[in-house]
Amino acid sequence: MDVKKQNRDIESLSEPFKSKVKLFLEECKSNGLDVFITEALRSKERQEYLYSLGRTVPGRVVTWTLKSKHLVGHAIDIAFRGQELYPSDERIWNKVFDIGEKHGIVSLYRKYGVEKAHLEWGGTIPVKEVELINYPIMDDKQKQLVDNAIYSLKNMHNYGTPKMRQFASDMANTLRALKEEKEDA
């Protein structure tokens, strides 16, 4: 596998994000915005390579994380066909971001002011897919997120319907196992 090669295959994306991206691209096109995917699903090795750029490998920094949603097929990078791959006109980008938001696709640029060409699913990642992300270490903030989720599930278990209680119990057990597995790693 060549870590320098981008995967542009929309079919490599995970559902439901893949379906949302297809609708997003169709709507962009129907609005005169000729957007295309420059990167979809990434391997862990490619993400590590991209992260190394500008840090331990000469080049400019191109990503700020090792834990990208690209790793589970819930992110895309885009560009535009035509004279400018990355237009300087903010109005063009805002049209794209607005269309994305209609489909549950979030712009990190609009949200945090970074990575204008990066769009990702605004929904949550199903627990079964979280295990696909190979985090070498779960930091304190990540542990706190898991603890907060478990706390919310406890409330669901204590005050919910029988079906809600069973769901909460199952999910809490899954989260506990995930936390313990990552702490042991």
Q: Is residue 4 part of a domain?
A: no
Q: Which contacts (CB < 8 Å, 24+ apart) does range 6-10 have?
A: 6/38, 6/39, 7/39, 7/40, 7/41, 7/42, 7/46, 8/36, 8/37, 8/38, 8/39, 8/40, 9/40, 9/41, 10/37, 10/40
Report the pLDDT value the prediction gives residue 158, as an integer from 0 to 100: 77
Total domains present in the chain: 2
Report the pLDDT value the prediction gives residue 154, as an integer from 0 to 100: 76
pTM (two decimals)? 0.67
The single-letter DSSP state of residue 58 is S
- Looking at the chain, the whole-number percentage of residues with pLDDT higher than 90 is 52
Query: What does DSSP say about strands 118-121 and 35-39: parallel, antiparallel, or unpaired?
Result: unpaired
More confident residue, 185 or 45: 45
More confident residue, 128 or 14: 14
- pLDDT tens, position by position, 39-78: 999 999 999 999 999 999 998 988 888 889 999 999 999 9
Same domain, 139 and 106: no
For position 56, which CATH number holds?
3.30.1380.10
Distance CA 138, CA 144 (A): 10
Q: Is residue 169 part of a domain?
A: yes
- pLDDT tens, position by position, 76-97: 999 999 889 999 999 999 999 9
Tokens 């060409």 locate to 117
Report the pLDDT value the prediction gives residue 135, as an integer from 0 to 100: 47
Q: Which domain holds residue 83?
A: 10-121
- Mean pLDDT rounded to a whole number for the chain: 85
